[in-house]
Amino acid sequence: MIVFNFPLNVGCVNLVDLLCSEGKLVLGSFGPMRSRVKVNYSIIDCADWERILIVDSSGLYKYLCNVFEDAKLLKLGFNASINPFKFDLDDPYTEAKFVSDIFKLSFHLGEDSARVLQESLISLILKGGLEFSISDVISEVESQSLISRSYPYVHKLLRLLDLMSVGRIGSSFSSMHGFSNLNSSLIIVDVSHLPVEFRVLSSLLMLMKFRKEFNFILIENADIIAPEMSRALREEYAISFERSMIFYYLINENESKYILLSCDSPSWLNSKIKFIIDIAFAPIPRSKDVLDNLLRSFTSGFYDLSAFKSINIDDDVYFMVFKDGDVKLANYSGRFEFKGVFEVADELKPLKPSQQNTLVKLFGSKADLAYSVLSFLSQGTVERDLVIGYITGVYGLNATEAKKILTTLSVNGLIIEGVHRDGKYYLRISPMGIAVMNEYSESGDR
């Protein structure tokens, strides 16, 4: 039992009646982590939700499996994986644009990187298919960046894509494993073990991809997706602002009936997001500053806390509810304990780096052709037009495709281009090109 200065007009509210709404509701939950998990449990338990998705950045929602029989616990990289590059048939090109924006805003990528990623995804879709691996995307990004001469600007994007192809991060984003059968009424997706940027990525992806599958979606640590201004300034402000707008769009366009955004404090959440919250919840605060912050955020009047009458409130029994500028109390839904061991099967294992040699990685099925070009140039310096003629004459490619191969070899430092006194361009193999050629000839790929 604690004694707190509290508004005189406090009454109790029935959560079931409160949340029965014909339209969509955006909910907010604020307070210390463990306390708000108990509050969120009470919200989930108060009505007969048909389908619930929890994106858990804390690792604490697994304990809901103690009280919900029809619950399924997924952990990205262990027994679940989400493929960012799996698109719907309805409008894959718009979705590709959206995915490239999500990558840009999750990882603070530059505009050039986002554009090349979008062009690469559209190019892959045009070639046929709606689902692509990370390695498919890496190859296409390298190809598209060479065509647009933006290769120097996409190194960060390529490094991130490489990171997403190995280890536990790789197994987290390699397929749609674990999401094919979503018959359980409560799906908990644990992303707490991932680096922050990948938690942002996975939260936005799941909000986008499963908007039609669930009628209640809870996003934990929503403030890392849409931070308020002073916290956003610690990042690149423009990127954080754009990310908040994407988040705002996903919330408003989401077909789920209930969206619950959960974080420590409403003051940590972007104001545009905070203002669309219809009902807010919080455990009983233990300081006047926290109470004042909640009252200023979600009530219509100005409260002088010193004028409030002291009343006894048992914070193990009640939590606060803010709606329509007023504040009420609600009862916790029974007792909730953080006990038990919840292991998930390591079905996916950390992905090991591929042992592909350089030419296979750069050229794929055309690695033999690239090897032949390097072998041709190893005989000595050759005029560029003659090399193009060699490729088109021997291998039947057109001049554009031949030039693309030479550009890839040049950009990656495998050949050296120069202008001689006659004004013509000449090519010769570089020391790195000789090493790569030898690597390929000694490997089993040839």
Asked whether residue 255 is assigned to any structural domain, the reply reads yes
**pLDDT per residue as tens digits for the range 291-350:** 888 988 998 766 655 545 455 666 778 899 999 888 888 989 877 889 999 989 999 999
pLDDT of residue 236: 64
Contact 75, 347 (CB under 8 A): no
Are 136 and 211 in the same domain? no
pTM higher than 0.85 for the full model? no
Q: What is the dihedral of CA 81, 84, 85, 89, to 10 degrees?
A: 100
Asked whether residue 53 is assigned to any structural domain, the reply reads yes
Closest CA to 361 of 442, 439, 415: 439
Are 215 and 320 in the same domain? yes
What is the rounded average pLDDT for all residues in the chain? 87
**pLDDT per residue as tens digits for the range 75-119:** 999 999 999 999 988 899 999 999 999 999 999 898 999 999 999
Asked whether residue 24 is assigned to any structural domain, the reply reads yes
Contact 164, 117 (CB under 8 A): no
Q: Which range (218-227, 232-241, 256-265) has the least confidence?
A: 232-241
pLDDT at 176 over 90: yes
Asked whether residue 340 is assigned to any structural domain, the reply reads no
Query: Percentage of the chain surpassing pLDDT 70?
Result: 91
pLDDT of residue 446: 56
CA Rg value for the chain: 28
Q: How confident is the model at residue 6 (pLDDT cuts 50, 70, 90)?
A: low
**pLDDT per residue as tens digits for the range 393-414:** 988 889 988 988 998 888 778 8
pLDDT of residue 295: 87
**pLDDT per residue as tens digits for the range 22-37:** 788 999 999 999 999 9
Are 50 and 199 in the same domain? yes
The pair of three-digit structure tokens given for residue 89, joined into one six-digit string: 């048939």
Are 214 and 290 in the same domain? yes
The CATH code of the domain that includes 370 is 1.10.10.10
Asked whether residue 79 is assigned to any structural domain, the reply reads no
Asked whether residue 319 is assigned to any structural domain, the reply reads yes
Closest CA to 125 of 89, 161, 98: 89
CA 102/CA 202 separation, integer angstroms: 10
290-316 CB burial, b ≥16 within 10 A, e <16: bbebbbebbbeeebeeeebeeeebebe
pLDDT of residue 21: 74
pLDDT of residue 2: 46
Asked whether residue 190 is assigned to any structural domain, the reply reads yes
Contact 226, 270 (CB under 8 A): yes
| All residues at 6 or more sequence positions from 341 whose CB lies less than 8 Å from its CB, including other chains | none
Asked whether residue 249 is assigned to any structural domain, the reply reads yes
**Which helix (DSSP H) or strand (DSSP E) does residue 383 occupy?**
strand 382-383
Are 180 and 163 in the same domain? no
pLDDT of residue 417: 87
CA 193/CA 172 separation, integer angstroms: 11
Structural domain count of the chain:
3
Are 130 and 183 in the same domain? no
Domain boundary (282, 312, 331) is at 331
Domain boundary (172, 187, 211) is at 172
Task: Give the range of the structural domain holding residue 276, as residue numbers without chain letter.
Answer: 2-67+176-229+240-331
State mean pLDDT over 154-176: 91
pLDDT of residue 198: 95
Q: Which range (59-68, 222-231, 261-270, 383-392) has the least confidence?
A: 222-231
pLDDT at 129 over 60: yes
**pLDDT per residue as tens digits for the range 186-216:** 999 999 999 999 999 999 999 999 988 898 9
pLDDT at 429 over 90: yes
pLDDT of residue 156: 87
Are 108 and 150 in the same domain? yes
State mean pLDDT over 144-150: 75
Are 10 and 96 in the same domain? no
152 or 301: which leads in pLDDT: 152
Are 143 and 214 in the same domain? no
pLDDT at 281 over 90: yes
Domain boundary (123, 138, 172) is at 172
Are 377 and 435 in the same domain? yes
Are 156 and 189 in the same domain? no
pLDDT of residue 445: 59
